[in-house]
Structure 1
Amino acid sequence: MADQTSHRAIVIGGSLGGLFTAASLRAIGWQVDVYERSVNELDSRGGGLVMQPDLLEAFRFAGIAHAPQLGVPSRDRQFLDASGAVLFRQRMPQAQTAWSVLYNTLRAGLPDDIIHPGIALSDFTQDGDTVEAILSNGQRVRADLLIGADGPHSATRSLVLPDDHPDYAGYVAWRGLVPERSLDAAATAQLVDAFTFQTGDAHQLLTYLIPGEDGSTEPGERRWNWVWYRPLAVGAPLDAAMTDRAGVQRTLSVPPGALTDENRDRLRADASKQLAPALASLVHAADEPFLQIIQDYRAPRLVFGRVVLLGDAAFIARPHTGAGASKAAANAVALAQRLRGADGAIDDALAQWQAQEWRNGMRLYELGIGLGAQVMGKVDRHAAA
């Protein structure tokens, strides 16, 4: 570990991007405090995601111990038609994990006293080589670096780029998690050991196994994760879908348990009409399906003096890339590597980091749009659903 204990960073956002950043900077000797606006632990958020090499590299770099098997392997990739017939299947080994597995592993590897829940960023000031964060509890904290890792609706970004906002892509991801044993034998036989897709006219469903709620990867203790991309027009259709059972209009997602019965029942009815039997059974078996809108965003730059945007605060890449969490992990490790080799020249390190990571972010951003066009066609986000 490099001797850089005189340096301090403030990280805004306690989700994966913020925790990867904190772990990576601590690995090079920086003092770090993480401020998360949510009062509660975040381990119930999200569903499944693809294990990418950058995730394992981030754990290695930070020296955070993890289970020998963080994900569930899949052997093949297959495509089904609406009748359930296999259109295509080939060997394509990979592994899938759960958002909660990564979060809980990171959280366990960081000291409790550096995470400050229920505190948001209100503003900041800069003076030469330091930045002062003004927090929602009235506290003012000075540091060498303020890192906005606070997600798609970043408060940090709203301060440095107040006119920038993510763009709705014209479609949403309906998602669900199903205990492995809840699926009938016929559906399990067709889906097990595979990353399965069904693609139709402007929609796509994909599914795979992920670890269980307790992180178990043992057969029978895992969960099916499914994602169904479907168009949803701006206006009444989108507003109705994003209104939860308490009547609250959500902006980014409707979490598990908050979807209205009407929307859940309509989703199940549509699944029966449009999906292969095994995939329709997954949608029906999800007790608490949830919803996320698909967005695009690219920051014009990542560094603003001693303020940095990282992860989804900087670039929102569509989930078809399978790289959301790994992008944040790679951003964090690259930042720590640049700072470790900076010999105190933090501004030069930030400039070098920005040049490389902005290019990487743009490639992923454009890839996501291209993949979305292949899956959904040219969805008119303003047309009637």
Structure 2
Amino acid sequence: MRIAIAGGSIAGLSAALTLDCMGHDVCVFERSTQGLRGRGGGVVVLRHMLRFLENHGKTTREMISVPTRRRRSLDHEGNVVHDEPEILPFSSWDAVYRSLCALLPADGIQYGRKLQRFEQDTDGVDLFFDDGTHERTDVLIAADGTASRLRTQLFPDYQSAFAGYIAWRGVVDESAFPPAAVNGLAENFTLYQQPGELFMAFLIPALDGSLEPGKRRFNWLWYRNESDTTALQRHLTDRFGRQHHASIIAGEMATESAAELNQLAKACLPDVLAQLVLATKTPFIQAIHDALSPAFSSGRVALVGDAACTLRPHTGSGTSKAADDAVSLASMLTPFTSNVAETLAAWAVERRESIAQLVAKGPRLAAHFGLDNNSETGPA
């Protein structure tokens, strides 16, 4: 079958890779003109994604991740108040993305193709792009993220829900600091928690993939409750004055928001952690949303990744879920599938049930950290 995938992020590329391996004619349509290299921050690379990459290529844990050795919690003075062994393989969104891109055929991704809408019938799906072009395909996979336009077309009455808190995020080179200043942070998973906020930091590979000490990068996240809708709208307005639904990428945050972030870091964080924020040239921001599509398929259209279900980041399962979405879909949608709509419907029900516990886990973890709609806002 000819299969179109709208969205060239990790979920879209994972689906493309598995469906291509099954013998389908697959094409990814990505709206950005130059791809997504260099975007995103750190991710936990759990065994599902590692196994996925290893099954399809030569990428291994040691090639794309920096292992942490210990989990440590700090007080406001920067003193260690909790310390225990913990091995977690942290990587970067970009490292996983580049690994997937390298495994796909060179002509498998078309950049600068923004899918505006689709129409489907019993035999296929018609795709209409913003440049006026048209494509006909057997199956459409929506992998266009939390604010999925395709999900909105399928289920116009559904909207994702703001979870009540935001995540300031950033990546900064390890070499930006004297070794003594970050020695306690290197190869440790470091946390700082106060009512209504949680800060965490860990090392990830360099932008070129290097894992050499001194060339790696620190990834940091700062979750903070945000009940002020005016402040939320301000944070989600970029430097060009454009309003965003859930996030602003690195380099596009408004100057006023970046200045506010630095002021918060100086006032609220231990110095050893504040230095990471203050040294970050292009921080970015994410408003945490819950999205669970009413269904994961409709006719010949299926939803994967965040378009189907956006997990809370505390589960550390985003990339693994993308891999599992792809594998489960490809195992059902074989070249011998006779009734596409029925097959996708069966897959959708099974997939939705399989992630139910993971969906429920995120809000529980957030509540444990004091991050939810009912918690008090963190210190300003």
Q: TM-score, normalised by structure 2?
A: 0.93
* Residue identity opposite 1:294 in structure 2: I
Q: Any stretches of 5+ residues in structure 1 without a counterpart?
A: 1-6
What residue number does 1:205 align with? 199
What residue number does 2:213 align with? 219
1:261-276 equivalence runs, <5 A:
261-276=255-270
Native 8 Å contact 1:166 1:295 kept in 2? yes
1:16-35 equivalence runs, <5 A:
16-35=10-29
Cα distance in 2, alignment partners of residues 9 and 151 from structure 1? 18
1:1-385 equivalence runs, <5 A:
7-61=1-55, 63-66=56-59, 68-340=62-334, 344-380=338-374
Q: How far apart are residue 178 of structure 1 and its match?
A: 0.9
Alignment partner of 2:107: what SS? Answer: helix
Q: Provide, for residues 235-281 of structure 1, a one-character-per-residue CA deviation record: whole Å limited to 9, x for no partner.
A: 32112222222333233222222223332232222222222221111
Native 8 Å contact 2:225 2:372 kept in 1? no
* Residue identity opposite 2:362 in structure 1: G
Q: Residues 245, 131 of structure 1: CA spacing in aligned structure 2 closer, same or farther, 3 A cutoff?
A: closer
Q: Residues 268, 164 of structure 1: CA spacing in aligned structure 2 closer, same or farther, 3 A cutoff?
A: same
* Residue identity opposite 1:358 in structure 2: R
Identical pairs, percent: 37
Name the stretch that deviates more: 103-112 or 89-98. Answer: 103-112
Native 8 Å contact 2:125 2:138 kept in 1? yes
Cα distance in 1, alignment partners of residues 335 and 107 from structure 2? 28
Native 8 Å contact 1:78 1:195 kept in 2? yes
Q: Residues 376, 183 of structure 1: CA spacing in aligned structure 2 closer, same or farther, 3 A cutoff?
A: farther
Name the stretch that deviates more: 206-215 or 353-362. Answer: 353-362
Q: TM-score, normalised by structure 1?
A: 0.92
Cα distance in 1, alignment partners of residues 295 and 250 from structure 2? 34
Alignment partner of 2:63: what SS? Answer: coil
Q: Provide, for residues 146-205 of structure 1, a one-character-per-residue CA deviation record: whole Å limited to 9, x for no partner.
A: 100111111210110111111111211101111012133344221112111111110000
Alignment partner of 1:100: what SS? Answer: helix
Q: Provide, for residues 65-104 of structure 1, a one-character-per-residue CA deviation record: whole Å limited to 9, x for no partner.
A: 3365111111111111111121211111111111111111
Native 8 Å contact 2:196 2:376 kept in 1? no
Q: Number of aligned residue pairs: give it.
A: 378
Q: Residues 189, 38 of structure 1: CA spacing in aligned structure 2 closer, same or farther, 3 A cutoff?
A: same
Alignment partner of 1:256: what SS? Answer: coil
* Residue identity opposite 1:289 in structure 2: P
Cα distance in 2, alignment partners of residues 204 and 319 from structure 1? 12
Name the stretch that deviates more: 67-76 or 172-181. Answer: 67-76
Instruction: Give the RMSD, CA atoms, in angstroms.
Output: 2.1
Cα distance in 1, alignment partners of residues 58 and 300 from structure 2? 31
Cα distance in 2, alignment partners of residues 381 and 73 from structure 1? 32
Alignment partner of 1:332: what SS? Answer: helix
* Residue identity opposite 1:370 in structure 2: R
Cα distance in 1, alignment partners of residues 338 and 144 from structure 2? 26
Alignment partner of 1:22: what SS? Answer: helix
Q: How far apart are residue 123 of structure 1 and its match?
A: 2.3
Native 8 Å contact 1:64 1:106 kept in 2? no
Cα distance in 1, alignment partners of residues 202 and 259 from structure 2? 23
Q: How far apart are residue 105 of structure 1 and its match?
A: 1.5
Alignment partner of 1:174: what SS? Answer: strand
Q: How far apart are residue 381 of structure 1 and its match?
A: 9.0
Cα distance in 1, alignment partners of residues 316 and 209 from structure 2? 20
Cα distance in 2, alignment partners of residues 81 and 383 from structure 1? 19
Cα distance in 1, alignment partners of residues 269 and 377 from structure 2? 23
Q: Residues 134, 243 of structure 1: CA spacing in aligned structure 2 closer, same or farther, 3 A cutoff?
A: closer
Q: Provide, for residues 338-370 of structure 1, a one-character-per-residue CA deviation record: whole Å limited to 9, x for no partner.
A: 223965454453233222210233322221111
What residue number does 1:4 align with? none
Name the stretch that deviates more: 352-361 or 204-213. Answer: 352-361
Q: How far apart are residue 223 of structure 1 and its match?
A: 0.1
* Residue identity opposite 1:213 in structure 2: L
Q: Any stretches of 5+ residues in structure 2 without a counterpart?
A: none
* Residue identity opposite 1:369 in structure 2: P
